[in-house]
């Protein structure tokens, strides 16, 4: 069973409390959480030895990575079994032997996305200029805000808001408020709703010079 519900600790904990009662004892539970650790929910599952993280990249049909991350109580046989399962469904299995918030992918990606959003929140530059800078300077096919539209602005808000509450950082509080009032409250959730930081479909994205001129 692979769980992929909102990045909110309370919601996930309540979900696992109920699921653990309903699922057969043999069932292996895997969280697809983007940034939270499996050890945060292991006891709530009622089967910590059969619980771990299995994280897929966005646009999985193109970016077929599967990060498999155990917590200290995960049975090694379960870890190996899930790694084999990932390969069997056509994924590139990427084992992590130690817990790391954000795994490998999001440990690299989230700081980029945070930095881009904070530049916007501080009114340093607009969305397109920030994306253009990243894409031209690094050769990346997508800018951070294009990526955020794919990830979903609700997910981004949940992550930023959790950081704001945990740290009391005023910049993260301001950013969380911006994401909520200017995007989420207006139904601009990303590609899923046809509009986020950009509108979709956007034929300009097919123009190789869109982010260059």
The residues assigned a catalytic role are 34, 55, 67, 106
Helix, strand, or coil (residue 57):
coil
**Residue owning tokens 């916007």:** 120
The span from the CA of 68 to the CA of 103, in Å, is: 9
Integer Cα distance of 51 and 42 in angstroms: 6
Q: Name which of 141, 134, 96, 139 is nearest 113 in CA terms.
A: 134
Cβ contacts of 177 within 8 Å, gap of 6 or more: none
Residues in contact with 157: Cβ distance below 8 Å, sequence separation at least 6, in sequence order = 176, 179, 180, 183, 184
Give the residue carrying structure tokens 């097919």: 206
Q: What is the CA radius of gyration of the chain?
A: 19
Nearest to 81 by CA among 56, 104, 41, 49: 49
């Amino acid at each position: 069973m692979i769980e992929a519900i909102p990045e909110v600790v309370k919601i996930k904990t309540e979900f696992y409390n109920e699921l653990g009662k309903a699922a057969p004892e043999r069932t292996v539970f895997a969280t697809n959480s983007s940034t939270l650790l499996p050890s945060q929910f292991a006891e709530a599952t009622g089967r910590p030895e059969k619980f771990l993280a299995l994280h897929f990249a966005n646009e999985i049909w193109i970016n077929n990575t599967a990060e498999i991350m155990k917590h200290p109580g995960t049975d090694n046989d379960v870890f190996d079994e899930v790694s084999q399962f990932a390969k069997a469904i056509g994924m590139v299995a990427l084992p992590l032997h130690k817990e790391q918030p954000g795994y490998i992918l999001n440990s690299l990606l989230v700081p980029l996305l945070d930095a881009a959003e904070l530049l916007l929140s501080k009114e340093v530059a607009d969305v397109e200029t920030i994306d253009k800078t990243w894409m031209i300077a690094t050769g990346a096919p997508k800018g951070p805000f294009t990526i955020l539209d794919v990830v979903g602005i609700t997910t981004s808000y949940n992550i930023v808001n959790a950081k704001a509450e945990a740290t009391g950082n005023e910049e993260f509080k301001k950013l969380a408020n911006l994401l909520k009032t200017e995007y989420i409250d207006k139904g601009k959730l990303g590609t899923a709703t046809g509009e986020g930081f950009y509108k979709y479909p956007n034929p300009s994205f097919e123009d190789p010079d869109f982010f260059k001129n």
